[in-house]
Each structure stands twice: as structure tokens, then as C-alpha cells.
A and B are shown apart, each in its own frame.
Chain A
């Protein structure tokens, strides 16, 4: 493969919840714990995991909304969280954009659609006057909205239309990488497919790279080139989509895949499920060693002691499990 567009190097993001009166941390949530991976130009990297596994924190750190506790995020070789002077800093913000989960709270209810899309163009001083108006119209057309929609307010639009506005706003500054944080989970099934098709079409037209975060494993399979699985702040498996769905190696990935119900009663009636016992442990107090050992059917003594490293088991297939070596 060619050079990476983004590489995440031993990235950690901790949140301190309480402090003692001396100012020491009393409780820390290790939302993202030493995560490393790369994204290649033009691909879609799917990131899946359950609630609280740190996927949104990871997304926000990559988009520059959070600063990391440790480690770095390199965009084309440059650390985006270092100060490179105002101009370069602005350039990073232009090149990495984000689409948010909730199209209801991520659009300012007091701004018209036109103004929402205009704002990034003004901030980055990308266009003026007639040129700007033309750009806004073409952005609206690009996401399948009539330019007349510009005069509307978000509450006058449906969920699908709002998500299209969110996409247009991200596209306004011509980014190279778009971090999509659960862009479809708030939408109805028939609208989800519309948005996914739009994202795919835009990717081919504009040669975009996506980091696509979701908990819907079927949709991730559909859209991704490679898929990474997260559990309690760590990556447990990373492989090409076909490889991951046909030969999952990590016990958590196996359980996750077997838990998705298939929309076909003929298959469902004789399908064996791997049921994981218990709940996801609290990220405040994660299990020692391998974080998954408390729910794992194959846990061995070593799993409680040392955390397994993400190692390559095959070309482009990485797993963090003591069983797979």
C-alpha cells in the first residue's frame, strides 16, 4: 500500500472525573488507551464497538476537538496537535472535517441552512460574494438538496435532510478526510440507505477518505475497506472487511458478529449465537491484563496478567489476543 493519509501513534485520551482536594486525580476514565492505526488515502476505515468503548472520543481526538493525553495523530506526517503557526493549524482543520451523529443537535437552530454552510467558507476565507453564493448552491445540489432549501431553518427539515446539510457543511472546505461519527444511527432505515449511498457517491467524486464510526456492523461491512474493532478503549482487531467478517480471530469480534440478527428467518432459525456473559465492565475500573478476559469464553491465566499487543497474524490482519500468536 502507498503512504498513509493519517496515522495514529499510541494515542491515549484520559478524562479525569474527580480530583482530591490536593488536585490529584481520584478517578480517571481511560477512554482511549494506547491506540495505533493508519488510514490510507481513498479508503473507508470502519470503526466499530459498543457504547462506551471510546470510538467517539477517538474520532474527536482525530478531528482535533480533543487534545490527546499521550501519543500523536499524524496527518500526512505532521502532528495535528502541535502548533505549526496559525496558517498550518487552519489547514489541518480544513483537511479533516467531521459529520456528527445527531442531525438535530449538531445544527444551530437559529441559523438558516444557507448560513450554516456559509460559516466554514467565511472562517477559512475560501470564497466571497457571488462566488460564495454559487459555491453554497452547488454544495446543496451535491448532497441532493434543492438550493431553495438555503432559506429554511433546521426545524423545517426532516432528519435525512438535516444530515445532508451536515454533510454539505463538512464538504464546504474541501476536506480530504471526513470523520463520520455514527452518521446514520439517528435515521430511519429507508433514509439510512439514502445517506450511505450519498456518502459513497461523494467518495468517488471527490476522492474522499472516511473514518466511519458505527455500531451497526452490517452497514460497516457494506461501506468499509478495512474494519477496526474497539473494546474498552483498545483496538482488539483490525483487518480488511472481507477478512474480518469471514475469519474473525478475536473472541470479542466473533461474539459481536454472531450477535447481529440477520434479516432472514431461514438462516436465523438454525443459527448458533455466541452469547457473551455479563455487561461491558465500567471504563472507570477496567479488568486487568486483557480487558476482555472477564467475558471471554477462552480466558487463560495469562489473560488476567498481561495485556496482549496488537500483532499481525497475517498480512493486514492484526489481533490483540493471547490465543492468536
Chain B
């Protein structure tokens, strides 16, 4: 599979009155063509900042990208001017936001907002663009697409608005879609519809998707590969099947244990002690160390990303070849403690 997106050593900081927030620290990953990759983590772990950096829509200032290269189809995006980026956004990659109500313009009709895509990128006349917009709405299963063109966002339900967002994102058949918590604002039955739609678009059009979510269930149902983020770092990266079966980082394990399963009886939830880290004061050691029940002396030093299997890496000293616990980790032994 050829690599579509390559992110290398991405670091983003935010300058705030309280100090410098290190939102993203040395994040590197790749997305292959036609694949769905998930980024999971809790609020403030840097998943949205990563997405915004890729799209080139970081609010600068306060944000600043202090290092990193982003290559889409081998073209370096960080070197491009805003004008050049505008030709790529929407055409080669596009984004679906969490809250479709704030992402859509409330004073413009749905039709015009989608038609804009065709007018800007394909230089169509307004009338032709509207026809294309109708087709786009039809392709995301919106009933009576022609009537919808005339409507405003507030006239649609949350699920319909998210379909409009997806129609807009797919309008110019981009190679990559970044979906930032696309179903968080929706009810479960509507979430199931949207997941189904994203999956079928990925299969039919071969669009790669980066799915950002805090919901391990949503990630499991769509993604082939998963990155787990904590305090601005990727702390584990693995094929989805391995991540859920053999989590190799205590945080991933804790996260999996703290959500009850809907399909079986649960006996006691294991919760992760303490609070998410304060990104103003990042420790020099492992960022999860203060909350980790396996914490060791060496955890005061920053762990490197260590391989624990094929395509499976974890940022944890337990996985180091000198660690007495490596075997336990490889066999999913975290589950026993």
C-alpha cells in the first residue's frame, strides 16, 4: 500500500497567558491509501491539534508549529503558502468537524455551501455547481436532496447536518478525510448511521480516513490501525486487533478497562487513578508515570517508542528488552494485574 500521508516529528505549542502549552510532542505517523486510521485519547491529549496542523488550520497565534514535516502524496504541506493550501484543502484532503451546527454557516443555504466547493475547485458556474451539490446530497442518502438545497442548517436535524458535512467533505473526491469526533454530538442510533456511511464511502471511493475519537467502540468498529495519544504524544500504535487484544501500554490497558462492555456482564470497573496531566508542566520522564501503577525508577526518563510486535509499538519502559516485564507485556500480561 502506498503511503498517502506522512507526518514527521510534529510538535505544536500554544502560547497562553498561563504559559506555553505543549499540545503535540514529536508525533510521527503515516496513513496508507484507502485505510482508516484511528486516533484515540482524552480531552487535551493533542488529537485535535494534530488534525488542525495537518489541515493547516491551527489558529496561529496562539498556536505555533515548532517542528515537523507533513507530506501528502509526497508534497510538503508546511512549505506551502495559504493560497496554495486553499487549493489542497477540500480538493485533496478535507475535514469533518465534531459539531456540524457550528461548522456550517447558519446564514447560507445548504446548497450554496456545497456548491461553493465545486465553484472554487472545479470552476463550475453556480447552476452547474448546484446540480453537483444535489448529487452530493443524494450520495450521502439525504432524502429529497433537491428540497434540501434551499434549506438552512437550523432546519436540519443533527444527523442530517453531519451528512451534509460529509457530502461537503467528499464533494471533490479528496484522497484523505480527517473526521474529528464526527459522532460525538449524535445519538447512538444516528451514530450507527454515520459510521455506516463513512465505512461505505471508504470502501467505494477508497478515501483514506483519519478518525479522531475518544470512544473506543467507534474506533473499533471502523479503524484498521489505531494510535493512542496521551499528553501530546503517541504512546501506542498498533493494528486495531492487536491493540484491543494485547494492549502494551498501561494507559491503553487502563482506558480499555474503564469502559464497560455493552455485550457482557461487567465485574467492577478499573479506573485510572489521578487526573489527566497539566500540559503547562510537562515532566521530563514518562508523561503517564504519575498515574501508572507499574511505575519504576527508570520512568523518570522519557521512554522511546519500542517495538512489541509487527507494526506494534509502545512508549513504555516495560517493553524495553532489558525490562524483566517484557515477556508479561508481550503476552498481554498487563491484564493479570
Residues of chain A touching chain B, judged by Cβ–Cβ distance below 8 Å, are: 50-51, 158, 160-161, 188-194, 196-197, 215, 217-219, 221-222, 242, 245, 255-268, 271, 273, 275-276, 278-280
Contact partner, A256, options B188, B219, B254, Cβ 8 Å: B188
Known: A191-B275, A262-B261. 4 other contacts (CB 8 A): A193-B270, A259-B191, A262-B262, A276-B192
A221, A268, A276: the one contacting B266 at CB < 8 Å is A221
Which of B's residues lie within 8 Å of A, judged by CB?
Answer: 42-43, 143, 157-160, 187-193, 195-196, 214-221, 223, 240-241, 244-245, 254-263, 265-266, 268-273, 275-276
Q: Is B217's CB under 8 angstroms from A190's CB?
A: no
Return 7 A-B CB contacts under 8 Å, by A number. Answer: A161-B275, A190-B276, A259-B188, A260-B188, A261-B218, A263-B259, A279-B159
Report if A263-B187 is in contact (Cβ < 8 Å); known contacts: A190-B255, A193-B270, A218-B260: no
Number of A-B contacts (CB under 8 A): 134
With the chains together, A197 CA to B266 CA distance in Å?
Answer: 12
Shortest beta-carbon distance, B223 to chain A, in Å? 8
Q: Which residues of B contact A192 (CB under 8 A)?
A: 258-259
Q: Which 6 A-B pairs have the closest CB atoms?
A: A261-B217, A193-B258, A193-B271, A222-B260, A259-B192, A50-B187
Which chain B residues lie closer than 8 Å to A275 at the CB level?
189, 192-193, 196
Residue numbers in B under 8 Å from A273 (CB-CB): 192, 196
Contact partner, A194, options B192, B268, B271, Cβ 8 Å: B271
Q: Which of B196, B214, B244 contacts A189 (CB 8 A)?
A: B214
Q: Provide the bound-state CA to CA distance between A273 and B200, in Å.
A: 14
Are B244 and A257 in contact, with the CB atoms below 8 A?
no
Whether A261 contacts B215 in the complex (CB less than 8 A), given A158-B275, A192-B258, A245-B262, comes out as yes
Q: Which of A50, A192, A263, A279: most chain B CB closer than 10 A?
A: A263
Task: Tell whether, in the assembled complex, residue B244 and residue A188 are in contact, meaning their CB atoms are under 8 Å apart.
Answer: no
A261 touches B189 (CB 8 A): no
CB–CB B187/A190 < 8 A? no
Question: Is the beta-carbon distance between B241 and A265 smaller than 8 angstroms?
Answer: yes
Tell which of A188, A221, A222, A256 touches B42, judged by Cβ atoms closer than 8 Å.
A188
Contacts of A256 in B (CB 8 A): 188-189
- The answer to whether A260 touches B259, judged by C-beta atoms less than 8 angstroms apart, is no
Chain A contacts for B189, CB-based, 8 A: 50, 255-256, 259, 275-276
Do the beta carbons of A264 and B220 come within 8 Å of each other?
Answer: yes
Report yes or no: A280 in contact with B187, Cβ–Cβ below 8 A: yes
Contact of A264 among B244, B266, B268 (CB under 8 A): B244
Chain B nearest CB, measured from A72 CB (Å): 30
Contact B216 A263, beta carbon cutoff 8 Å: yes
CB distance from B232 to the nearest CB of A (A): 15
Q: Name the B residues within 8 Å of A219 (CB-CB).
A: 260
CA distance A28 to B188 in the complex (A): 27
> Which residues of the partner chain B approach A188 to less than 8 Å between Cβ atoms?
42-43, 214, 276
A189 to B257: give the CA distance in the assembly, Å: 10
Q: B183 to chain A: closest CB distance in Å?
A: 9
